[in-house]
Structure 1
Amino acid sequence: MPAPKNTFKQALNNGDRLIGCWMSFAEPAVAEIMGTAGFDWLVIDGEHAPNDIRSIRDQLMALAASPSHPVVRVPIGETWIIKMVLDAGAQTVLVPIVESAEQARELVRACRYPPEGTRGVGAAASRATRFGSVGEYVQTADQEICLLVQVENRAGIAALDEILQVEGIDGVFIGPADLSTDMGFQGNSGAPEVRAVIADALARIRAAGKAPGILGTTDEATQAYLEMGAQFLAVGIDVLVLAQNARALSAKWKAKP
């Protein structure tokens, strides 16, 4: 039996637009709820949410029955953590703060088994192989792994064209919050100067045959990114969805005479 088909990667290759959401609670029960919402993809955030490998694994398990595809953002682009999330069953990995083609090439190698890569061959007892029941996993896993890299500062933007030439990168995700801050517009990713850089980056990513992605946390920003051509677009963060709706509900009824 080969590795499961990565439907998210296939959809990106087909040019489909995919709408997603960020998950920052680091709780499998919340992931299970989010998996019923109808998003095409959901990010399990290992960078800024209080996750570890066990909570990442548990959220992958919670989403197993969901049509929403789990994307695991690792905290850092290191081989050891990429190996762990892949063995836990992730097929799509998002790596933050990628600044060079050399770094991107090493990330591709981390996602692949030897001789093309450096991923450790210890999957027989892992969730990725369904505990040894996927007999052809090692032979077929590489082609089903989807690697997304985040370009989110001036160094990454400067190296974007070289990063886009790296074979094995499926998509490039622009991080507006980090990028705007690095450009001197702290907390203002909507600044015209930042929007211009984002629009140019998304266009270059698409022109290079890669999938362009981004996160919008307001309707205005999300619509703007959509019009710029974002293909895999996150439209919210679960913590903010709860917080904003809870505050609005409270204010609505407390204001009643």
Structure 2
Amino acid sequence: MSKNMCLAEKLRAGQTVLSAWATLPSPIFSSLFLKGGYKAVTLDLQHGLQTRAEARDSIKEMIIGGGHAIARIRMDDFRNASWLLDAGAEMIIAPMINSVDDARKLVEFCKYPPLGTRSYGSVGATMTAGITMDEYFASADKKTLAIAMIETPEAYAALEDILGVDGLDGIFVGPSDLSLTVSGGKSVAPVSEASLAMQKDIAEKTSAAGKIAGIYCVTKDHLQHSKAAGYQFMTFGTDSTLFISAAAEAAQALD
């Protein structure tokens, strides 16, 4: 973790943080995001192409570059949550957290006793940041974030109970999957009127619980709507999409 204000401190202080979304299997993209102006990068290990080694190296690049490293783990891959935190990630986003039991399991692997059962020994985070393990351990539970994804009707119905789980730091809305599951598989409509109303309700309930509200934003307008709705942590801009868009524009330069 950076010796400057960490991600958790920024969010708890009421700051808004925009993160890039990284899917491609190379740490260089994390560095390029930081050079482009992003202060945070989210590594998508659920649908992205990174291996654990590539995620580890990306996290290192972000720490060295003064940015914040976030990792979305695979479904039910809670053990890797602990490993990614040991590597230096500041936030773990876990998909398909549908119940209190799911949320407690996430906390179990992300927090040290007595909140959880994370084991002692964070080599990557301490070596890269230049701090001792004792220094890291003293504040790790406050400075690393366990975030549950809300993307099903079951999760939405259990939201207030999930938010009540001790040690859970907040939620992250997957608007496409939420709209898909709520519609029973009939449509993917993350910016429909019904979807936006649901997203606003989630943000309000999360804020009322004193926790962090995050969301994946699909357009610039959706990003602005999400900020107005009360989301503090937002992701917008995916490496593969941005590269293809820029490449398409450059390829037409002579036309």
> Could you state the TM-score of these two structures normalised by the residue count of structure 2?
0.89
State the 1:3 CA deviation: 9.6
* Residue 144 to residue 153, structure 1, CA distance change in 2 (3 Å): same
Q: CA 1:174 to 1:134, structure 2 compared with 1: closer, same or farther past 3 Å?
A: same
Distance 1:243 1:47 in 2: 21
| Other-structure match for 1:84 | 83
Matched, 1:188 2:189: yes
In structure 2, do the counterparts of structure 1 residues 4 and 109 end up closer, same or farther at CA, with 3 Å as the change threshold?
Answer: farther
Give the superposition deviation at 1:173. 0.8
Q: How many residues are treated as equivalent by the alignment?
A: 251
Report the secondary structure of 2:118's partner residue.
coil
| Counterpart secondary structure, 1:167 | coil
Moved over 4 A (4+): 2-6
* Residues 168-198 of structure 1, C-alpha deviations (whole Å, 9 max, x = no match): 2222111101101112252321222212111
What does residue 160 of structure 1 align with? Answer: 159
Shift of residue 133 of structure 1?
6.2
Which sections of structure 1, spanning at least 5 residues, go unmatched?
none
2:119 matched to which residue of 1?
120
Deviation at 1:215, TM superposition (A): 1.5
User: What's the secondary structure of 2:35's corresponding residue?
Assistant: coil
Aligned to 2:204: 203
Which residue type is aligned with residue 89 of structure 1? G
State the distance in 2 between where 1:186 and 1:67 align.
40
The CA distance in 2 between the partners of 1:204 and 1:240, in whole Å, is: 32
State how far apart, in whole Å, the 2-side matches of 1:115 and 1:199 are: 33
Structure 2, gaps ≥5 residues long:
none
- Shift of the alpha carbon at 1:22? 0.6
Secondary structure (helix, strand or coil) at the match of 1:81 reads helix
Per the alignment, residue 217 of structure 1 pairs with 218
For 1:8, give the aligned amino acid.
L
Deviates more, 1:73-82 or 1:3-12: 3-12
Aligned partner of 2:230 in structure 1 is: 229
Farther-moved stretch of structure 1 (3-12 vs 65-74): 3-12
Secondary structure at 1:64's aligned position in 2? helix
Q: Over alpha carbons, which structure has the higher Rg? A: 1
- Aligned residues with identical type, % of pairs: 27
The Cα RMSD (Å) is 2.2
